[in-house]
Structure 1
């Protein structure tokens, strides 16, 4: 790799040095100079190339690892990993927004968009009657053009009249819903479970049928109530759940 690829932080800028290093590494990966699976230079070499301390560099590398861009293997080094969506404490955002926050280019391929009838599960989630109309949107979700998961979203038909003829499936669905119908998400409840990739989805996801997957069910509401019920099947090798646990006050007091 050419050493001219490394943009040293500008100490006159208001952004912290670690943030500038983090963004510089993201740019190198995005350019393709570091490809998926590549081992990045050792810490001491990166410190010299970026002109920063080891503490600053480690701060940047830790953030990149937590966001799923890098993978650290003890005794081996740090590698560029395949696109990974890391789920944890986060804001209520669309897939497009969430991927953007991770420095990943979101994409999707529309697999189906049709009008159907709510089954018992969807009716309960959307607080409508079984058999009521729902708009079914099935999409292959991509990150940097690589398959991450398949999402099937059901929208309460009464909330989105004329949706099928609106051409709203380009870009973020939430942005489109806000512009046309005034629907602004305020809360979402998610349930995670481990499942397997169905035969019908295997080829789309680039996996063998039966491989592990995360199944995520999400009910999203606005001020009027539930408007969306989504079931996502996410690749087990490109989706992580990460959380931080802290001791409660009682436990902390017991150590005093």
Structure 2
């Protein structure tokens, strides 16, 4: 939307756009309570009904959450849709307009543990690519990910700059393989010392641990990822069909 379109659009859409941009930029942070509808109406110079309509659209699109008798709050960042929609963290965030920054702590070939061998269904003698990343949204740490990749299927991933390239996009474009399904297991655990430091939470803070195994054509496992999400930032919604 350019400036002229913005000025011509109805007031509620202009207000929606302003609040949306404040959420995406991080000016309004996750869990933060918005000013009252009366205050927003005064700020924008419109009726309370116009503000309500703008907020309702953002609530319907899950950027805001209304709590009866309390007010309107910025929603947690991540929402998962149907299990049939297989997307990575970058894809999920980009669809909502958020900017993701990634810090790579480790990217190397290594001998896998017995558990990784079993889950990736590979020989003990076959090495895996170990990728450890911290993902940030609006410069706030959201998730730590330990990923193990079947190196035999695409050793070229070792050359990828994962601070500027998404994993699933790289698997598609560099390896020429499509992820056809994934299996996720989720549990709540307490943050240990390393996790608390990386996610900037206290030791013992509740985090969500997800284990994902992703499969490419012919039902071959290519990825095993353990993700630790901040529970105050992340919502998991699963739809069964």
TM-score class normalised by the smaller sequence = 0.7 to 0.9
Q: Report the counterpart of residue 3 of structure 2 in structure 1.
A: none
TM superposition shift of 1:87: 3.0
1:108 matched to 2:102:
yes
Q: Report the counterpart of residue 149 of structure 1 in structure 2.
A: 143
Distance 1:245 1:128 in 2: 30
Distance 1:18 1:221 in 2: 44
Q: Report the counterpart of residue 181 of structure 1 in structure 2.
A: 175
Distance 2:137 2:26 in 1: 14
1:241 matched to 2:240:
no
Show CA shifts across 1:198-244 (max 9, x none). 21221111012221110000011111321111000111111122357
TM superposition shift of 1:77: 1.4
The 3 A distance-change label for structure 1 pair 185 and 244 is closer
TM superposition shift of 1:33: 5.3
| Alignment root-mean-square deviation, CA | 3.1
Distance 1:62 1:71 in 2: 6
TM superposition shift of 1:29: 3.0
Distance 1:214 1:95 in 2: 15
The 3 A distance-change label for structure 1 pair 190 and 31 is closer
TM alignment of 1:127-206, pairs within 5 A: 127-164=121-158, 166-169=159-162, 170-206=164-200
Q: Report the counterpart of residue 218 of structure 1 in structure 2.
A: 212
TM superposition shift of 1:118: 2.0
1:29 matched to 2:28:
no
Structure 1 contact 147–205 (Cα < 8 Å) conserved: yes
The 3 A distance-change label for structure 1 pair 9 and 127 is farther
Count the aligned residue pairs. 230
TM superposition shift of 1:149: 1.2
Q: Report the counterpart of residue 62 of structure 1 in structure 2.
A: 59
Distance 1:46 1:244 in 2: 35
Distance 1:186 1:43 in 2: 45
Q: Report the counterpart of residue 251 of structure 1 in structure 2.
A: none
Distance 2:52 2:70 in 1: 20
Distance 2:23 2:156 in 1: 42
TM superposition shift of 1:108: 1.0
Q: Report the counterpart of residue 118 of structure 2 in structure 1.
A: 124
